[in-house]
Amino acid sequence: MTVTEDTKVEMLSGGDMLIRALSDEGVDIMFGYPGGAALHIYDAIFRQDKVKHILVRHEQSATHAADAYSRVTGKVGTVLVTSGPGATNAITGIATAFMDSIPMVVISGQVPSDKIGQDAFQETDMIGVSRPIVKHSFMVQNPEDIPEIVKKAYYIAASGRPGPVVIDVPKDLTAPNVTFEYNYPDSVSMRSYNPVQKGHSGQIKKAVKAILAAKQPVIYIGGGAIHGNTPELVTKVIRTLGYPITSTLMGLGAYPSTDKQFIGMLGMHGTYEANTAMHKSDMIFAVGARFDDRVTNALEKFCPNAQIVHIDIDPTSISKTIPADIPIVGPAESVLTEMLPLLEKGKGKIDQEALTSWWVEIDESREKHGLYTQNRFDDKSEMLKPQEVVQAVYQVTKGDAIVTTDVGQHQMFAAQYYMFDKPRKWVTSGGLGTMGFGIPAAMGAQFAFIDETVVCFTGEGSVQMCIQELSTLKQYNLPIKIININNQALGMVKQWQDMNYDGRYSEILYEDSLPDFVKLAEAYGHVGIKVTQRDELKGKLEECFAMKDRVVFMDIYVDPNEHVYPMQIPLQSVGDMFLSKTERTA
């Protein structure tokens, strides 16, 4: 038997195979933190230069950074952590990605195989701990399996409804002194995992009929419209129909926010026009949205007159909270591709008279209480308002920045007042609502697009949850701009305490313990700018964004008593809202 060139196999250690497999999978960047059980893997990283490793300051940040990297690029984010505390610190970020369906692969070191179950140093059952918050997980048992497991992990993470996948690797299986044949598989097939590729054509036809027959329709899109890489298609469908469109927090940017057909975000802090239109609608056409509790308000009062057409790739999202009249299980892309010509062909059937009066009604709502027809906050007040900070940042960045947020009032103001005309520019923790997400997310986004402007809206509460990453930003020269909307309290909690607990401010104040954020930024080698007055806001922001190569921490003091409005009235319909501290819908 003759041995030809291409039958020559490469012999690699487990650790080398792992990093090589990542490189063969197309991974160019990973975020991580070394530790005992991962040391062989880190040594393998040292021996190559294809996969760049970013050293964060806390494993939670590694997961958020990889998550954001995925959100802005559409690729799978990659994380490497050690066992025990390394693994458990990654949990919050994995849960964040899971709730928002973000594809991510998290590789965790594990204690050596013969120590598993012995309560060894830095041992945690990572597979067990992460089980409820991963799409799938693998415990490597034989080093030879590493290439195939990596291939499967990336396939599972990215396909179907995306999500995080954990690979737990016992230390001994990555040892440098034992080598194995390395072959990276070209493709993978799993008998137990076959994500749906196409919607049911009969259902699609039925849906088209219902959509065209509607008199008061609303198109309701969610994160699935972005994950499915369908914004262009979504836009075509929406323009073809001429119907009003609203978006969830996760779907912002899939359709241009400044377009007339866009009626704003819906839900708990959605616009008046979006929420009232939903409530009165006779047909809701949902694409990649999951009717979650921050949208629906009381389920039994949700959109009483509406027929529901629901496209989702995940059958468990359909009829989970709100029964769908016409469910379509399938990827938004293939379903909408099939739908579009049918809609174009049938659009003559749309009752234009009804649609026109529907638009008149919606435009009246916009005029009456809409966020974009006039300022619904006091822009002459003594103190700066958080809303105008977001507006000013929007103007200075010409609406073209990648925006990340933390969680709380500032997040909702950012969602309301920064208008996203393009997809994958808006990076926020929607499902889990993870404080501490903002800075690491901005870090991940800036790595993906080093020349773009990346803004992190945060608050003085959230920012302190992952503030150590100011050091990582310095190390890698990531010139993100931090807009700290400082209201000197945990604002969203305070709002709830104002509204539901008679203003009993339980544990939301810092009693003069807030750091001097300007000095703090400077201590990390960055620029800090404090703003307290309305008339200096624009100028200081311009100064901030002109510093293209520096991290700038804008500490902007705003009115501590401002609330986010509209706000849905608990236990009522989607259209019942508080509109200000003194007004509410009838």
Catalytic residues: 59, 121-122, 171, 492
What is the closest distance, in whole angstroms, from the C-beta atom of residue 368 to other proteins in the complex? 38
Strands (E), 434-544: 454-459, 481-486, 527-531
368 binding other proteins? (CB under 8 A): no
- Cβ(94)–Cβ(164) under 8 Å? yes
- Provide the terminal-to-terminal Cα distance of the chain, rounded to the nearest Å: 87
- Which CB sits closer to other proteins, 133 or 427? 133
What is the closest distance, in whole angstroms, from the C-beta atom of residue 83 to other proteins in the complex? 17
How far apart (Å, rounded) are the C-alpha atoms in residues 413 and 386?
Answer: 7
432 binding other proteins? (CB under 8 A): no
Integer CA distances (angstroms), 219 to 147, 261, 419, 563, in order: 43, 10, 18, 28
328 binding other proteins? (CB under 8 A): no
Considering only the stretches 309-317, 332-340, 469-477, 522-530, report the one whose residues sit in contact with other proteins under the rule CB under 8 A: 309-317
Query: How is 64-100 classified by DSSP, letter by letter?
Result: HHHHHHHHHHSSPEEEEE-STHHHHHHHHHHHHHHHT
DSSP type of residue 570: T
- Selected from 47, 50, 52, 131, the binder of other proteins by CB under 8 A is 131
- Cβ(287)–Cβ(278) under 8 Å? no
- Which CB sits closer to other proteins, 50 or 131? 131
Buried/exposed 133-169: b ≥16 CB within 10 Å, e otherwise:
bbbbbbbbeebebbbebbbbbbbbbbbbbbbbbbbbb
- Selected from 142, 305, 316, 356, the binder of other proteins by CB under 8 A is 316
- Selected from 144, 314, 378, 559, the binder of other proteins by CB under 8 A is 314
530 binding other proteins? (CB under 8 A): no
What is the closest distance, in whole angstroms, from the C-beta atom of residue 76 to other proteins in the complex? 16
- Which CB sits closer to other proteins, 196 or 342? 196
- Which CB sits closer to other proteins, 141 or 533? 141
How far apart (Å, rounded) are the C-alpha atoms in residues 270 and 371?
Answer: 10
What is the closest distance, in whole angstroms, from the C-beta atom of residue 107 to other proteins in the complex? 17
Considering only the stretches 187-195, 303-311, 481-489, 518-526, report the one whose residues sit in contact with other proteins under the rule CB under 8 A: 187-195
Total residues in contact with other proteins, by rule CB under 8 A:
19
Integer CA distances (angstroms), 136 to 129, 290, 380, in order: 12, 21, 53
- Selected from 49, 132, 353, 506, the binder of other proteins by CB under 8 A is 132
Residue 206 burial (C-beta neighbours within 10 Å; 0-12, 13-18, 19+): middle
How far apart (Å, rounded) are the C-alpha atoms in residues 538 and 516?
Answer: 22
- Cβ(269)–Cβ(564) under 8 Å? yes
Considering only the stretches 127-135, 224-232, 375-383, 546-554, report the one whose residues sit in contact with other proteins under the rule CB under 8 A: 127-135
At 217, phi and psi to the nearest 5?
-85, 155
484 binding other proteins? (CB under 8 A): no
310 binding other proteins? (CB under 8 A): no
What is the closest distance, in whole angstroms, from the C-beta atom of residue 477 to other proteins in the complex? 40
135 binding other proteins? (CB under 8 A): yes
- Selected from 200, 205, 209, 320, the binder of other proteins by CB under 8 A is 320
- Selected from 124, 137, 230, 247, the binder of other proteins by CB under 8 A is 137
Integer CA distances (angstroms), 449 to 70, 74, 269, 337, 365, in order: 12, 13, 30, 30, 39
- List the interface residues with other proteins, window 438-457 (CB under 8 A): none
202 binding other proteins? (CB under 8 A): no
122 binding other proteins? (CB under 8 A): no
For 182, what's the count of Cα atoms within 13 Å in the CB-facing half-sphere?
18
> Which residue, among 64, 66, 577, has the nearest Cα to 370 in the 3D structure?
577
What is the closest distance, in whole angstroms, from the C-beta atom of residue 193 to other proteins in the complex? 5
The SS3 call for residue 307 is strand
514 binding other proteins? (CB under 8 A): no
- Which CB sits closer to other proteins, 135 or 279? 135
How far apart (Å, rounded) are the C-alpha atoms in residues 569 and 159?
Answer: 38
Considering only the stretches 311-319, 346-354, 400-408, 441-449, report the one whose residues sit in contact with other proteins under the rule CB under 8 A: 311-319
- Selected from 23, 319, 468, 580, the binder of other proteins by CB under 8 A is 319
136 binding other proteins? (CB under 8 A): yes
- Selected from 127, 213, 342, 493, the binder of other proteins by CB under 8 A is 127
How far apart (Å, rounded) are the C-alpha atoms in residues 434 and 63?
Answer: 12
- Cβ(108)–Cβ(169) under 8 Å? yes
- List the interface residues with other proteins, window 143-172 (CB under 8 A): 156
190 binding other proteins? (CB under 8 A): yes
The site for other proteins (CB under 8 A) is made up of: 127-128, 131-132, 135-137, 139, 141, 156, 190-193, 314-316, 319-320
